[in-house]
Amino acid sequence: MNLERLRALHAVSVHGSIAAAAEAMHVTPSGVSQQLAKLERETGHRLLEPRGRGVRLTRAGRVLAEHAGRVLAQLSAAAAELDGLRADVTGPVRLGAFVTAARSVLPPALAALRERHPGLSPTLREGETENLLPALSRGDLDVALVESWDTLPTPFPASVSNVLLSSDVIDLALPAAHPLARRRTVDLHELRGLRWAAWTAGGTCEKQIVQTLREHNVDPDIACNVADYPTQLAFVAAGLAAAVIPRLGRDPVPAGVRMLATRPVVRRKIYVAWRTGAAGPAVEACVEALRAAAERFTEDRLAS
């Protein structure tokens, strides 16, 4: 069986349609269809069947796609091991990160990489976890910094490996004039009736906030959606909203804002992730630099 045809079948399995598979493989949909037609002739099995306006894998197609995934993962692992035989860590490496990690952990990590591996050429793409993980699975990114809230854990696909870097506490930001702002700690169920500033509408970060509050019988009224914690804090300072702010993303706190601990404590975990079987020298160097930078950042915050 031809490897590129197996790759096309696996792409349809992962991405759900011929058009999406073609986009991920940077070929035309007709090219994918031709590869799959040839693979059906090679195997003697029908691998796809119509479903509405699209297609779905038959039982034989699903079986072969699972084998194709293992074959491709093994080939990727072999390529990574061969890359490991090279003495120098060089070439491009594509990084993705959510915004607060990009602002705090990534700069010292990239500075360390530049010093240790000057032949490495990293680039950065900022985004939310819900977009970064699929980009990693597709091969559009090599390494990603992603977050997972305890109240809405991030599911990691089997094609992605990860290492926990740190745990970040989520605090409540209230206008200083609010009656609860005189307290040090607030129970989450006390927060009914507030208007809220949150991240991009419909995105993972907003869903995490909504899920956290609803677990404590608070249905939040989102008054402001903006993908920037300092801007959210500006709305809080103006008395227009409350917000929940990870400690990694809250500095500086403007006048007119009180930061309070919550009961129970809400945390998010920060992970570095990469494609399973694709941890070559460049990826390994990035993971190690990010681990060291996250450790130093955490120690500095605890000491301050």
- The predicted pLDDT at position 88 comes to 66
Model confidence at 255, pLDDT cuts 50, 70, 90, reads: very high
**If pLDDT is split at 50, 70 and 90, which confidence band does 300 have?**
low
Mean pLDDT of the chain: 88
* Segment holding 224, helix H or strand E: strand 221-225
Q: What is the pLDDT of residues 123-134, one digit of tens each?
A: 999 988 989 999
Burial state string for 201-226 with b = 16 or more CB within 10 A and e = fewer than 16: eebbbbbbbbebbeebebebeeebbb
Query: Nearest CA to 265 among 169, 181, 200?
Result: 169
Residue-wise pLDDT for 262-286, tens only, equals 999 989 899 999 998 887 888 999 9
pLDDT score of 154 more than 80: yes
**H helix or E strand, kind and range, residue 125:** strand 120-126
| Helix (H/G/I), strand (E/B), else coil: 187 | strand
Cβ-proximal residues to 270 (8 Å cutoff; 6+ apart), any chain: 101, 105, 145, 146, 147, 164, 165, 166, 167, 168, 248, 294
At 97 the pLDDT is 95
Q: Has residue 209 got a pLDDT over 70?
A: yes
Average pLDDT, integer, range 162-185: 93
pLDDT at site 147: 92
Q: What is the pTM of this model?
A: 0.67
- Pick the residue with more confidence: 290 or 85? 290
Pick 144 or 72 by higher pLDDT: 144
pLDDT of 99: 87
- Region 39-62 average pLDDT: 90
Band (pLDDT 50/70/90 cuts) for residue 16 is confident
The tokens of 201 are what? 């509408």
The pLDDT value recorded for residue 228 is 85
Of 73-77, 186-190, 296-300, give the lowest mean pLDDT range: 296-300
| Domains by residue range for the chain, with CATH | 3-84 (1.10.10.10), 88-304 (3.40.190.290)
So what's the pLDDT on residue 100? Answer: 86
Q: What percent of the chain has pLDDT over 70?
A: 94
